[in-house]
């Protein structure tokens, strides 16, 4: 009973904040917990501005909707939100551009973030991300050896991947990215910024549909 109470409290906290940098990992799989979810967004006229160039992106650069998705390989709630993201891409097609920003979450080791940087340098972030999540959901550990093996598995140059993984450039990049997102108010993972409007946490897909449809209406007016 005590365990279930702690899980419920954790899920409620995530509904407000997502995976916080100073939060521990959940004691149970969050997908089994149902709780009221709360949306946090800026005023439609007071939007967050984020740079898009140089980050992993899917969809036309001139799409009317740009969704910036802030994620981390070690945030369990991000695993659930991937399903929502996939559905939105299928439903809105070329009307939606998704730009991914990676943030260190909680007491996360730096290694997964460095691996994300190294994969992006070879233009393989999305393919690599899929493999990493598959490993995580199967209970695998993101060790140095495993991350390198996954890179080769998706067709990357293994030597170059390791070189980038250990480079000062990737180390500086993930630190700068983390600071930028923090200063922009994107403390939690997952976070979503839809045309500058902020949503925190693994929300029901209807929340995103409503906001995207509002923005499409704005674009067409």
- Is 182 within a domain? yes
- Is 193 within a domain? yes
Residue of 182 and 96 predicted with greater confidence: 96
- The number of angstroms, rounded, from the C-alpha of 115 to the middle of its chain's C-alpha atoms is 15
Q: How far is CA 161 from CA 35, 135, 186, in A?
A: 40, 18, 28
pLDDT at 137: 86
- Is 100 within a domain? yes
Mean pLDDT of the region 121-125: 96
Q: How far is CA 144 from CA 72, 108, 109, 148, in A?
A: 17, 14, 11, 6
- Is 12 within a domain? no
pLDDT at 37: 39
- Is 64 within a domain? yes
- Is 137 within a domain? yes
Which range of residues forms the domain containing residue 194? 39-220
Q: Which two tokens stand for residue 124?
A: 């393989």
pLDDT at 45: 60
Q: How far is CA 154 from CA 104, 130, 212, in A?
A: 23, 10, 32
Give tens-digit pLDDT for 25-41.
333 333 322 223 344 45
Give tens-digit pLDDT for 4-19.
333 333 333 444 445 6
* Report field, pTM of the whole predicted structure over 0.75: yes
CATH number for 211: 3.40.30.10
The number of folded domains in the chain is 1
Burial 27-47 (b: 16+ CB within 10 A, else e): eeebeebeeebebbbeeeeee
- Is 141 within a domain? yes
- Is 120 within a domain? yes
């Amino acid at each position: 009973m005590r365990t279930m109470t702690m899980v419920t409290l954790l899920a409620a906290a995530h509904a407000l904040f997502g995976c916080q940098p100073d939060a521990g990992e959940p004691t149970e799989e969050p997908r089994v917990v149902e709780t009221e979810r709360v949306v946090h967004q800026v005023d439609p006229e007071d939007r967050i501005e984020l740079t898009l160039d140089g980050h992993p992106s899917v969809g036309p650069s001139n799409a009317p909707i740009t969704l910036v998705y802030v994620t981390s390989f070690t945030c369990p709630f991000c695993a659930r939100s991937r399903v929502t993201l996939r559905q939105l891409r299928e439903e809105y097609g070329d009307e939606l551009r998704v730009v991914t920003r990676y943030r260190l979450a909680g007491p996360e080791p730096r290694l997964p973030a460095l691996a994300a940087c190294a994969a992006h340098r070879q233009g393989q972030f999305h393919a690599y991300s899929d493999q990493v999540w598959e490993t995580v959901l199967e209970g695998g550990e993101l060790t140095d050896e495993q991350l390198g093996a996954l890179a080769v598995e998706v067709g990357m140059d293994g030597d170059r991947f390791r070189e980038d993984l250990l480079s000062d450039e990737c180390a500086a990049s993930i630190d700068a990215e983390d600071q930028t997102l923090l200063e922009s108010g994107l403390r939690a993972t997952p976070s979503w910024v839809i045309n500058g409007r902020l949503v925190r946490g693994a929300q029901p897909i209807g929340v995103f549909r409503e906001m995207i449809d509002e923005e499409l209406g704005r674009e067409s007016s």
